[in-house]
Structures are given as C-alpha cells and as structure tokens.
C-alpha cells in the first residue's frame, strides 16, 4: 500500500466534510463571507477550552528560558508559517532574540513564501533538527493541524528521547502524535469550511494559541509593567512615540518630561519608568533597576519595576 493510501482513513476533523458548507459554491459573496465568518466564530470557544493546558505549557517555557534554554517551534505548511510569524514578532515587541523563541519550518526559509509541502514527510529531517539545534534545557513544540505530520513526529520523538519537554498544538482531538507530547493542546474546531484547508479554522486556532503562549511567557519573564511592553525596541518614529506614550500612561508625567527622562536613560523604558515612578534621578533609577532585575519567581512583580521603585522610596526615608 502506498503511503498516501494509508492516509485515506486518517481520523481528523480537518479531513472531514463540513455539512454546513456543502452548498458553498452556490452562494453569492455576501452569504459566502457570512458563512465563513460564522464558522470562524467557533474557534474562540475551542481555544478557550485549552486555557489550563496552555498555562501549564507557559510555566515550562518560562522555566526553560529562565534557565538559559530556548523554546523551539517545529512545523510544516500553514502551521509552520504561523510559528515563524509568532517567533519573528517577539524581538521588536519584547527585545528578545532567537535564544528565547525560534521557529523551524519544514523545507527551510524558502517554504515561508513558496509552498514546499513534500518537506513535511521526512521524520528524519525533524529528528536531525532536534539533535543538531536543541540543547538540554530546551522545549520543543510541534505544530501540525492534523496531528500526524512526520516532520513534527520526528522532532518530538528525538526530543522525547533526549529528555526535553515536548508539546503538540493541533486541530485534531485524536492526534496520532499526542503520545509524544508532555503538553497537548488539541483544538476541537471541527471540519473546515473548505474541506482540508487548514489555513482556515485550524490555522486561526493555532495562531491564537501561539500568540497567547508567547505573550504569557514574556509577561511572566518580566517583559511588561502592567500591560505595557517596557522592553520593546524603539526602532522607528512610531515606536519612539509609543515609548513616550507608555511612560506617560504609567506615570502620569507630562510628555515633554517623559521624553527628556527617556533620552537621559539612553532609550531604556525600564530605567526611565523607575525614575518617573520614584521621582528619582536617572542614575539612581538605573542602579535600582539593576539590583532588581526581571525574575519570574517574584510573584506580582516579575519585571522588578515595583521593587526598584520601593527600593528608591525606602532609601529617601
């Protein structure tokens, strides 16, 4: 039996026909878009049902990065491209490098813009990736809409064999690769609007889970104060303006004063914020921030901003 023939009976909602859209090609544009968006609405509920296992995975990712490890996304096709997108957006948002989150796409970088679907069939390539690029403190997260992709399976198998924490994000509650994962996030989104087109509901579910995972991990690592991204890279005029706006929002300072303090702090939002909140000079704020660095074990203040401000406030008494 050919390998493709063995997949004819694959148990996955992504391969089933959606009875609500069997008349899809007969609909005018207004009804067509309404039907597609109505199906998408169910994705939110399916993802929210995974809050608890997602939180457990976040804690393992935080622990890994805090110990010097890296979170590796491994995927193919749409799943892999969404992983690349999530990892690529973390550096400017939270000022982190690929030593925190990195993504591996079957077929390499070219597969990001030119489909190379055949690359997903190599379990050996997935295993080689883990053996060559993963360290002893790392986390390996496989992404496969159907939950059976060989490339992802090879990576998870190799990671499991070397004792790494593993996870699987899929849109199949009966994912064949689930037994290889310590954490399983299997979004039950049902059949796609267009049968087998996992760039639709399955892709949306995976994007939501990835965004929530990486954002929650960054928050726990102290990359925000309140809901403000205090470590972002202000690499253009829009982001420089956002830096000043955040300081104003957090401290109540006048924009002109906030901009002056930020400049004196050499662009460090973290240092400028400590100075403004404590009413202190920038050199003192820099020292206080250095003695209270980000620490995920500091409950209620992982960024250390509140602790640094308290240190300066106490010193004046």
**Catalytic status, residue 314:** no
CA 76, 90, 168, 79 dihedral sign is: negative
Report the C-alpha gap between 35 and 27 in whole angstroms.
9
The rounded distance, in Å, linking the Cα atoms of 77 and 168 is 15
Q: Which is catalytic among the residues 59, 89, 260, 264?
A: 89
DSSP 116: -
The Cα–Cα gap between 56 and 61 comes to 9
Of the residues 16, 22, 59, 120, only one is catalytic, namely 120
Residues 163, 137: contact at Cβ < 8 Å?
no
Tell me what percent of the chain is helix, strand and coil, each rounded to the nearest 5.
55, 10, 35
C-beta contacts of 247-252 below 8 A and 24+ residues apart: 247/272, 247/273, 247/276, 250/225, 250/226, 250/276, 250/277, 251/276, 251/277
Look up 120 and say whether it is catalytic: yes
Active centre residues (catalytic): 89, 120
């Amino acid at each position: 039996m050919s390998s493709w023939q063995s997949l004819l009976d694959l148990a996955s909602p992504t391969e089933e026909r959606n009875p609500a859209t069997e008349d899809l090609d007969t609909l005018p544009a207004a009804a067509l878009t309404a039907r597609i968006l109505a199906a998408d609405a169910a994705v939110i509920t399916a993802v929210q049902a995974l809050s608890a296992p997602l939180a457990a995975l976040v804690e393992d990712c935080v622990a890994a990065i805090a110990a010097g490890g890296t979170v590796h996304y491994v995927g193919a096709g749409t799943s892999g491209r969404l992983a690349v997108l999530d990892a690529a957006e973390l550096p400017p948002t939270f000022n982190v490098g690929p030593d925190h989150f990195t993504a591996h796409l079957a077929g390499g970088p070219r597969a990001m813009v030119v489909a190379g679907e055949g690359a997903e069939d190599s379990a050996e390539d997935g295993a080689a990736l883990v053996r060559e690029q993963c360290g002893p403190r790392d986390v390996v997260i496989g992404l496969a809409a159907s939950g059976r992709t060989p490339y992802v399976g090879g990576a998870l198998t190799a990671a499991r064999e070397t004792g790494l924490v593993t996870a699987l994000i899929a849109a199949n509650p009966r994912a064949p690769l689930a037994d290889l994962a310590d954490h399983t996030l299997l979004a039950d989104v049902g059949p796609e609007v267009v049968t087998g087109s996992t760039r639709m509901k399955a892709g949306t579910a995976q994007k939501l889970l990835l965004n929530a995972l990486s954002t929650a991990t960054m928050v726990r690592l102290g990359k925000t104060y309140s809901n403000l991204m205090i470590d972002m890279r202000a690499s253009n005029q829009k982001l420089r303006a956002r830096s000043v706006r955040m300081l104003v929002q957090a401290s109540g300072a006048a924009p002109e004063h906030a901009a002056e303090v930020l400049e004196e702090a050499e662009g460090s939002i973290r240092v400028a914020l400590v100075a403004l909140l404590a009413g202190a000079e920038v050199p003192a704020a820099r020292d206080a921030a250095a003695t209270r660095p980000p620490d995920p074990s500091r409950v209620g203040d992982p960024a250390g901003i509140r602790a640094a401000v308290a240190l300066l406030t106490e010193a004046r008494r």
